[in-house]
């Protein structure tokens, strides 16, 4: 384990989907998902992130999913609760509640749509870190949030004791290098296909979407990389790369991963509008991607 601030979360976290049946949260399916991940050996679970369709959940549902995951995991793995928002007061409320429920950390997405200044980013995350005393992971995903949290801002945030991690999803190895160079934060990949390249320069793991279906392979890749066995890690990277690229390029996450779970007999129910299911032709392509990976469907 490194001496970086968030190394307790080194390894594989899985951004789990939220299962719906008849439009409502399906706790039985959620339990099945969690047992699948714990059996695989993942280090932590991340409920109600983007993959968990957090933008379409009511506040009550959001809080309930976090509570259910914490209770169902029952200390067998850590839980990093997605409690970010583009409204600082809302993020504070959700994060306080997650702390009360027993979350081990929070995932704080960059405020989206309203596009704050760098000072606004800093003040937003500072307010949360000073108010809620669990570790926080800053989630930088400009492709969704419409604006980058610059490395200089992240370096300033790293001075706050409770800001311990960054989920780095800019797609830029230069930005990843800058953060690692300028701070003692733990960096976690926010893109499955960039996990190995990022770990080769000092990142410590991934918050994975593909881990919903192939957690053991993601774990093996991260473990090999953490041990410095980059030859073995590269073999797994090249096995996983077509799956991550071709599955996640079919449609916006979590549409394709929910489709994959359905094809694999692990149906997580419907998507919520405005997310819609894959078209038949896209399902056919997804089937081929899964079969090429080695699944028998």
Asked if 265 and 281 count as a contact pair (C-beta separation under 8 A), the reply is: no
Q: Which of 139, 147, 156, 293 is catalytic?
A: 139
The conformational region for residue 277 under phi > 0 = left, psi -120 to 50 = alpha, else beta, is beta
For the chain, the residue count is: 297
SS3 of 49-66? CCCCCHHHCCHHHHHHHH
Helix-, strand-, coil-residue percentages of the chain, each rounded to 5: 50, 15, 35
SS3 category, 177: helix
How far apart CA 271 and CA 282 sit, in angstroms, is 16
Measured torsion, CA atoms of residues 207, 210, 211, 212, in degrees rounded to the nearest 10: 120
Active site residue 167: yes
For residues 98 and 105, give the distance between their C-alpha atoms in angstroms, rounded to a whole number. Answer: 9
Residues 140, 168 contacting (CB under 8 angstroms): yes
Phi, psi of 278 (to 5 degrees): -60, 150
As a whole number of angstroms, the distance between CA 7 and CA 185 comes to 8
Whether the ω angle into residue 254 lies within 30 degrees of 0, i.e. cis, is: yes
Q: Of 29, 78, 167, 258, which is the active-site residue?
A: 167
Active site residue 293: no
- Measuring CA to CA, which residue among 212, 201, 200 is closest to residue 51? 212
Q: Residue 46: which of 175, 150, 137 has the closest Cα?
A: 137
As a whole number of angstroms, the distance between CA 289 and CA 294 comes to: 9
Residues annotated as catalytic are 139, 167
């Amino acid at each position: 384990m490194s001496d970086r601030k968030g190394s307790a979360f080194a390894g594989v976290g899985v951004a789990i989907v939220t299962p719906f049946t008849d439009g409502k949260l399906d706790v039985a399916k959620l339990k099945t998902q969690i047992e699948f991940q714990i059996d695989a050996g993942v280090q932590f679970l991340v409920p109600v992130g983007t993959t968990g369709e957090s933008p379409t959940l009511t506040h009550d549902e959001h809080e309930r999913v976090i509570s259910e995951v914490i209770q169902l995991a029952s200390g067998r793995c850590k839980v990093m609760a997605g409690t970010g928002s583009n409204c600082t007061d809302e993020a504070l409320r959700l994060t306080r509640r997650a702390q009360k429920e027993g979350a081990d950390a929070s995932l704080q997405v960059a405020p989206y749509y309203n596009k704050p200044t760098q000072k606004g980013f800093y003040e937003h995350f500072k307010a949360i870190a000073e108010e809620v005393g669990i570790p926080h992971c800053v989630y930088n995903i400009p492709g969704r949030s419409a604006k980058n949290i610059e490395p200089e801002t992240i370096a300033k945030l790293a001075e706050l004791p409770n800001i311990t991690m960054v989920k780095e999803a800019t797609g830029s190895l230069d930005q990843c290098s800058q953060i690692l160079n300028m701070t003692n934060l733990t960096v976690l990949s926010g893109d499955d296909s960039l996990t190995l390249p990022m770990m080769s320069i000092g990142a410590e793991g991934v918050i994975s979407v593909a881990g919903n279906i192939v957690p053991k392979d993601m774990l093996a890749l991260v473990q090999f990389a953490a041990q410095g066995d980059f030859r073995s890690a590269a073999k797994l990277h090249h096995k996983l790369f077509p799956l991550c690229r071709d599955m996640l390029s079919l449609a916006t996450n979590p549409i394709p991963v929910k489709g994959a779970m359905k094809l694999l007999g692990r149906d997580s129910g419907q998507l919520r509008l405005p997310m819609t299911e894959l078209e038949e032709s896209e399902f056919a392509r997804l089937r081929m991607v899964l079969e090429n990976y080695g699944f028998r469907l």
